[in-house]
Structure 1
Amino acid sequence: MAGRITPAEGRYGGRTADERRAERRERFLQAGLDLFGSRDGPGYRAAKVADVSRAAGLSTRQFYEEFRTLEDLLAELHLYVNDAAERAVLATLPQVEHLDDPIERYTRLFRAYAAGITADPRHTRIAFVEIIGVSPRLDRQRLDRRARWIDFLCEQGAAAAARGEIAPGDFRVTATAFIGAVNGLMHDWAVGWVDATLDEIVEELLQMLLARIHTISA
Structure 2
Amino acid sequence: MAGRLRQPTGRYGGRTAEERQEERRRRFLDAGLQLFGSGPGYRSTTVAALSEAAGLSTRQFYEAFRGLEDVLAALHLQVNDWAERAALAALAEARDLPLAERAAALFRAYAANVTSDPRRIRITFVEIVGVSARLEEQRLARRARWVEFICGEAASAVARGEAAPRDYRLAATAFIGSVNGLLHDWNAGWVDATLDEVVEELVRQLLGILRPADWSADGAAGP
TM-score, normalization by structure 1: 0.89
* Structure 2 match to 1:62: 60
Q: Which stretches of structure 1, 4 residues or longer, exceed 4 Å deviation after superposition?
A: none
Structure 2: gaps of 5 or more residues: 217-223
In the alignment, is residue 207 of structure 1 matched against residue 204 of structure 2?
Answer: yes
Q: CA deviation at 1:203?
A: 4.0
Q: CA deviation at 1:64?
A: 0.4
> How many residues are aligned here?
211
Letter in 1 for 2:53: A
Letter in 2 for 1:196: D
Aligned partners of 2:113, 2:147: CA distance in 1, in Å?
Answer: 17
Which is further off, 65-74 or 192-201?
192-201
Q: CA deviation at 1:91?
A: 1.0
Identity of aligned residues (%): 60
Cα distance change of structure 1 residues 198 and 144 upon mapping to structure 2, 3 Å threshold: farther
Structure 1: gaps of 5 or more residues: none
CA contact (8 A) 1:128 1:186 kept: no
Q: CA deviation at 1:202?
A: 3.8
* Structure 2 match to 1:126: 123
* Structure 2 match to 1:22: 22
Aligned partners of 2:42, 2:113: CA distance in 1, in Å?
Answer: 22
Task: After TM superposition, list the pairs within 5 Å mapping 1:185-200 onto structure 2.
Answer: 185-190=182-187, 192=188, 194-196=190-192, 199=195, 200=197
Q: Deviations over 1:79-124 (max 9, x none)?
A: 000000010011122212212x211111111111112222221111
Q: Deviations over 1:167-191 (max 9, x none)?
A: 211111221111011223334445x
Aligned partners of 1:198, 1:132: CA distance in 2, in Å?
Answer: 27
Aligned partners of 1:107, 1:96: CA distance in 2, in Å?
Answer: 9
Q: CA deviation at 1:198?
A: 5.8
Aligned partners of 2:198, 2:106: CA distance in 1, in Å?
Answer: 16
Q: CA deviation at 1:3?
A: 3.8
* Structure 1 match to 2:220: none
* Structure 2 match to 1:167: 164
* Structure 2 match to 1:182: 179
CA contact (8 A) 1:86 1:116 kept: no
RMSD: 2.0
CA contact (8 A) 2:36 2:42 kept: yes
Q: CA deviation at 1:212?
A: 2.8
CA contact (8 A) 1:86 1:113 kept: yes
Cα distance change of structure 1 residues 44 and 201 upon mapping to structure 2, 3 Å threshold: farther
* Structure 2 match to 1:72: 70
Q: CA deviation at 1:52?
A: 0.6
Q: Aligned to 1:146, which of 119, 143, 147?
A: 143
* Structure 1 match to 2:51: 53
Q: CA deviation at 1:215?
A: 2.7
Letter in 2 for 1:170: D
Aligned partners of 1:82, 1:166: CA distance in 2, in Å?
Answer: 27
